[in-house]
């Protein structure tokens, strides 16, 4: 397959079973997904549907029970230097100041940090001059921006983000979304992002993957073709509103069918 | 940056979000001394003068005999005049403390670091460690003296046995604090098990290690003095039994005072070390 149409990241029939005390738990079941280079893909779905399991499988942090994940056509069997991760809480090391936190990946890898590039990133996210600060001295948004710099500092070609801004307030979250878009427009990277916010997913993504719960499966994939940068005006259009509602119905609908025996006609009622 | 010192330390809790249940450790230390202003110093000195002076006054007023309780002034005089006699014994006690605590703490730390990596081994060993922690090691001193004589050996062994398990049990609590998020972070950069230990587990355990070292060293001092009281002709504990049998109460209390100062110095040392290397948690 020529490189141009070969997916950057390819998940093939990924299945993961966790052995727990109360028996085996099937977290994700035969998930398949192709992510092209420099694409932003969001994964949404009800909680407990295996989103994080799928993302961890892509990062090589744990093994699959069956199936495989390919990065640039070769199977991932462990953490790769091509992949950067951003976790739900900023996950900074509290005993290190900001500089030492950003230097952490390089310390582990035994390589020299590209100071010029890192300073440029710090400037971009507005953290210049904060290198000597400890995480507890920074706000939640600043911590998450530092975590973003840390993940980008070694120039990974894939960025995996696990609900990166879930712990932030709505305004900080929007600011972070704009920052990610800005950085991506400047320096395209393949991004896979788990989120609980459909608005965030639509704002950032080229495609949105909806997962169904227990076991986690890929239920639907939506193309998001609004032009970038996605201004507030674009985000306020009827098309965005409709897409939000369709995705919401897919996520919530799944849950209603599990708990209440509601006639499907009620769920699919057209908006008044 | 003009506003740099006005930024509040928000999200203090979030820094330790993954560390539920250990905040008691270092904060107990942090609530200790920390003098801020001249007024505070004055108040502290004033209270000290009232307490010491009041004791002196009351003992004089009620003509309390010296063998019941000597006056602070008499203790002070004894401390200065008899210090050359007491100093060598202080040296002996310090040798026992350093040697015993050094060995005990080192073994305790290594055991804690290794054992917590193997939960099964930990389960098997924990009852014995608990036994060592809860049994007063002084009880073994007569036996140790029978075997090793009246020299340093039984005391150093007793100090090591008393302080080591204390260090171990606290350090183990520290090493057991698994923050899976931080370990996943290190692993995502390809960290080895050894790197995860030195760069994640060890720093996370550090605050509890300092608590263990502090408690262990105080226990070591306690045991050293106790062992000296049981037998052998030297050491501060031996001075206590000797002075009290001769009803030399000012000298007796002078030794007690030296022991108190020693204890406080140990506390302050580990408090400062903890503040320097583990302040991120306090």
Whether B91 and B57 map to the same domain: the answer is: no
CB atoms within 10 A of CB B275: 16
**Whose CA is closest to B213, among B270, B162, B279, B262?**
B270
Here the tokens at position A262 are: 């509601």
Q: Is A158 on the interface with B (CB under 8 A)?
A: no
Using a CB–CB cutoff of 8 Å, tell me whether A82 touches chain B.
no
A21-46 confidence digits (pLDDT tens)? 787 888 888 888 888 888 999 998 88
Domain of A240, in residue numbers: 1-76+200-272
B56 and B118 belong to one structural domain: no
> Residue B217 is encoded by which pair of tokens?
């060293």
Taking phi over 0 as left and psi of -120 to 50 as alpha, with beta for the rest, B102 belongs to alpha
Angle between helices B249-277 and B72-81 (to 10 degrees): 80
Same domain, B49 and B91: no
Q: Which residue of B has its CA nearest to A86?
A: B185
The residue among B2, B10, B11 with the most chain A CBs within 10 A of its CB, best to mutate, is: B11
Q: Is residue B115 part of a domain?
A: yes
Q: How many structural domains are present in chain A?
A: 1
The reply to whether residue A140 touches residue B11, judged by beta carbons under 8 angstroms, is: yes
| pLDDT tens-digit profile, chain B (282 residues) | 333 333 333 333 333 333 333 334 444 444 455 667 888 889 989 999 999 999 999 999 998 888 888 999 999 999 999 999 999 999 999 999 999 999 999 999 999 998 888 888 888 888 888 888 888 888 888 999 999 888 888 999 999 999 999 999 999 988 888 788 888 888 888 888 888 889 898 898 988 999 999 999 999 999 999 999 988 788 899 999 999 999 889 999 999 999 999 999 998 898 888 888 777 765
Instruction: Please indicate, yes or no, whether residues B216 and B147 belong to a single structural domain of this protein.
Output: yes
Contacts of B268 (CB under 8 A, 6+ apart): B33
User: Which residues from chain A sit within 8 angstroms of residue B195, using beta carbons?
Assistant: 108
Query: Domain of B155?
Result: 75-277
Q: Do B224 and B151 share a structural domain? A: yes
Is A107 contained in some domain?
no
- Among B19, B189, B191, B274, the strongest candidate for a mutation testing the A interface, having the largest count of A CBs within 10 A, is B189
Tell me which of A85, A93, A109 to substitute to probe the interface with B (most B C-beta atoms closer than 10 Å). A93
pLDDT in the model for residue A246: 83
Question: Does A120 map to a domain?
Answer: no
Task: Give Cβ neighbours of residue B198 (< 8 Å, ≥ 6 apart).
Answer: none
User: Is the domain of B49 the same as that of B92?
Assistant: no
Closest alpha carbon within chain A to B17 = A89
pLDDT at A4: 58
Whether chain B has a CB inside 8 Å of the CB on A132: the answer is: no
The pLDDT tens digits for A223-263 are: 888 888 888 888 888 887 888 888 888 888 755 555 555 45
Distance, CA of A78 to CA of A100 (rounded, Å): 25
**A83, A92, A139 ranked by CB distance to B10: nearest:** A139
- Is there a single domain that holds both residue B54 and residue B162? no
End-to-end Cα separation, chain B, in angstroms? 26
Determine, for residues B190 and A91 on separate chains, whether the beta-carbon distance falls below 8 Å: no
User: Which of B184, B189, B280 lies nearest to residue A136, judging by beta carbons?
Assistant: B280
Contact A143 B189 (CB under 8 A): no
Judgement on whether residues B182 and B248 belong to the same structural domain of the protein: yes
Q: Where are the alpha helices (DSSP H) in chain B?
A: 12-15, 24-30, 38-61, 72-81, 83-115, 119-134, 141-148, 152-175, 180-188, 193-196, 202-230, 236-245, 249-277
Tell me, yes or no, whether B79 and B196 share the same domain: yes
Distance CA B145, CA A36 (A): 77
Kindly report the nearest CA distance between residue A69 and chain B, in angstroms: 16
DSSP A85: E
Number of domains present in the structure of chain B: 2
Of the candidates A95, A108, A134, the beta carbon closest to that of B190 is on A108
**Residue B137 DSSP label:** G
Q: Of B187, B224, B202, B223, whose CA–CA distance to B277 is shortest? A: B202
Both B46 and B157 in one domain: the answer is no
- DSSP per-residue codes, A172-223: HHHHHHHHHHHHHHHS--EEEEE-S-HHHHHHH-SEEEEEETTTBEEEEEEE
Instruction: Kindly state whether A107 is in contact with chain B, defined as any CB-CB distance less than 8 angstroms.
Output: yes
Q: Do B189 and A139 touch (CB under 8 A)?
A: no
Which value does ipTM take for this structure? Answer: 0.80
Q: Do B199 and A107 touch (CB under 8 A)?
A: yes
The CATH number given to whatever domain includes residue A265 is: 3.40.50
Q: What is the mean pLDDT of chain A?
A: 82
User: Residue A109: exposed, middle, or buried by beta-carbon count in 10 A (0-12, 13-18, 19+)?
Assistant: middle
Q: Is residue A50 part of a domain?
A: yes
Is B132 inside a domain boundary? Answer: yes
Q: How far apart are CA A140 and CA A88, in angstroms?
A: 11
Distance CA B148, CA B99 (A): 16
Give the angle subtended at the CA of B209 by the CAs of B205 and B210, to the nearest 5°: 125
Residue A266 lies in a domain: yes
Q: What is the pTM of this model?
A: 0.76
Cβ of B181 and A129 within 8 Å? Answer: no
Q: Which residue of A has its CA nearest to B193?
A: A108
Nearest to B280 among A79, A95, A108 (CB): A95
Q: Do A143 and B11 touch (CB under 8 A)?
A: yes
Interchain pair B278, A107: CB under 8 A: no
CB contact under 8 A, A108 and B186: yes
| Cα–Cα distance for residue pair A28/A17, rounded to 1 Å | 7
Best residue in A108, A111, A138, A162 for a mutation probing chain B (most B CBs within 10 Å):
A108
Residues of chain A whose pLDDT is less than 70?
A: 1-4, 254-272
Which CATH number does the domain housing residue B241 bear? 1.10.3720.10
CB contact under 8 A, A61 and B187: yes
Residue B10 inside a domain? The answer is no
Point out the residue among A87, A91, A94 whose CB comes nearest to the CB of B280.
A94
Would you call A59 an interface residue with chain B, using a CB distance cutoff of 8 Å? yes
Same domain, B57 and B125: no
Q: Quick one: how far is CA A139 from the chain centroid?
A: 22
Query: How many of the other CB atoms lie within 10 Å of CB of B210?
Result: 25
Q: Looking at chain B, which residue has its C-alpha nearest residue A153?
A: B189
CB-count burial class (<10 Å; 0-12, 13-18, 19+) for A34: middle
Beta-bridged to residue A16, according to DSSP, are A28
């Amino acid at each position: 397959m020529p490189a141009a149409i070969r997916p950057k990241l390819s998940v093939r029939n990924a299945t993961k079973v966790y052995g727990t005390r109360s028996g085996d738990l099937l977290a994700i079941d035969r998930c398949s997904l192709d992510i092209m280079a420099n694409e932003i893909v969001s994964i949404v779905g009800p909680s407990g549907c295996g989103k994080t399991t799928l993302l961890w499988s892509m990062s090589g942090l744990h093994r699959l029970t069956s199936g495989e994940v390919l990065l640039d056509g070769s199977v991932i069997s462990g953490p790769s230097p091509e992949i950067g991760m951003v976790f739900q809480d900023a996950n900074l090391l509290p005993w290190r100041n900001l500089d030492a936190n950003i230097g952490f990946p390089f310390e582990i890898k035994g390589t020299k940090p590209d100071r010029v590039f890192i300073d440029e990133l710090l400037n971009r996210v507005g953290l210049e001059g904060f290198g000597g600060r400890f995480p507890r001295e920074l706000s939640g948004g600043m911590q998450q921006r530092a975590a973003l710099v840390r993940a980008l500092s070694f120039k990974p070609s894939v960025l995996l983000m696990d609900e990166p801004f879930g712990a932030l307030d709505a305004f900080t979250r929007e600011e972070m979304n704009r920052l990610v878009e800005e950085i991506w427009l400047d320096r395209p990277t393949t991004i896979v992002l788990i989120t609980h916010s459909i608005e965030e997913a639509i704002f950032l993504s080229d495609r949105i993957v909806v997962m169904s719960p227990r076991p986690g499966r890929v239920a639907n994939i939506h193309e998001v073709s609004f032009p970038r940068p996605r201004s507030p005006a674009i985000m306020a259009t009827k098309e965005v509103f409709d897409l939000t509602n369709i995705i919401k119905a897919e996520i919530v609908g799944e849950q209603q069918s599990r708990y209440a025996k509601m006639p499907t006609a009620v769920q699919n009622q057209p908006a008044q | 940056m003009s506003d740099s010192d006005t930024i509040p330390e928000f999200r203090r809790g979030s820094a330790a979000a993954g560390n539920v249940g250990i905040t008691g450790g270092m904060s107990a230390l942090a609530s200790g001394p920390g003098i801020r202003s001249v007024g505070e110093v004055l108040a502290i000195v004033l209270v000290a003068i009232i307490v010491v002076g009041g004791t002196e006054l009351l003992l004089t007023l009620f003509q309390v005999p010296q063998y019941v309780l000597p006056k602070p002034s008499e203790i002070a005089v004894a401390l200065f005049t008899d210090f050359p006699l007491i100093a060598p014994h202080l040296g002996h006690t310090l040798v026992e403390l350093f040697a015993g605590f050094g060995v005990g703490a080192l073994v305790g730390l290594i055991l804690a670091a290794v054992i917590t990596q193997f939960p099964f081994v930990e389960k098997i060993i924990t009852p014995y460690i608990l036994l060592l922690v809860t049994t007063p090691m002084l009880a073994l001193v007569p036996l140790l003296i029978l075997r090793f004589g009246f020299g340093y050996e039984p005391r150093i062994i007793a100090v090591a046995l008393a302080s080591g398990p204390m260090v171990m049990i606290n350090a183990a609590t520290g090493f057991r604090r698994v923050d899976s998020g931080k370990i996943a972070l290190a692993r995502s950069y390809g960290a080895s098990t050894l790197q995860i230990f030195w760069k994640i587990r060890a720093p996370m355990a550090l605050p509890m290690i300092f608590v263990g070292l502090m408690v262990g060293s105080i226990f070591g001092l306690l045991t050293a003095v106790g062992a000296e009281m049981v037998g052998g002709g030297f050491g501060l504990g031996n001075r206590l039994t000797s002075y009290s049998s001769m009803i030399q109460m000012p000298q007796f209390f002078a030794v007690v005072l030296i022991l108190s100062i020693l204890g406080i110095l140990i506390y302050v040392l580990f408090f400062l070390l903890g503040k320097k290397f583990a302040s991120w948690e306090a």
